[in-house]
A = this chain, B = another copy of it.
Amino acid sequence: MPTPIEFYFDFSSPYSYIASEQIEDLAARFARTVQYKPILLGAVFKVAGSAPLTELYAPKARYSVRDFARSAHCAGVPYQHPSRFPIASLAAKRGVVWLQQHQPKLAVPFIHAIYRAFFVDDRNISDAAVVGDIAREVGIDPDEFAAGVQQLETKERLKSEVDQAIAAGVFGAPAIVVDGELFWGNDRLPQVERWLEKGPF
């Protein structure tokens, strides 16, 4: 049985969003499933000595914003650069790990809904109330969700996901692991496809 494709992501990462709109179809074409793994990119960047692209040298930051939109366009994915960027999205990520434990069928719809709320509809997904609204919109009980996100176990589980990602050599997002091999970035999906099709290269 082929192993799932691990997809490490942060809701604040445009390239993770663009890849998230493609990875399930890609996986399905090769009879694979996708295991979504939320990380705190800020914590990973701290260890890796990186920073958000838009906070780098001004010409690189400006280029990145152009490239986010162009990369989305090329992938046929709707994109509007959020007015608040980058943002923290702790409640949304805790929501993912809680759903994965308690309502696994709703975790993936929730991930896509959060991403589209941020990168298409410019909603403020750093606000726990907005995250609760989005949860309700995909059919999750908002009270259960709000309580689940606050559980110590949920918080600890997200922290351990981040530690595991760092231990696995993840240094940015999206990080896509296939058969133990790391691929970094939406622009590496063609390499992921080649690996799935023909094996190691």
Contacts and interface: CB of A to CB of B under 8 A. Distances in A.
A171 B57 contact: yes
Contacts of A73: 201
Which secondary structure dominates chain A's binding surface? helix
A2 interface: no
Q: How many copies of this protein are present in the complex?
A: 2
Nearest to A172: B60
17 contacts: A47-B57, A48-B56, A48-B60, A49-B57, A50-B57, A59-B169, A59-B170, A59-B171, A62-B169, A63-B169, A63-B171, A67-B184, A70-B191, A70-B201, A74-B191, A74-B194, A187-B188
Given A49-B57, A187-B187, 5 more contacts: A47-B57, A48-B57, A59-B169, A63-B184, A73-B201
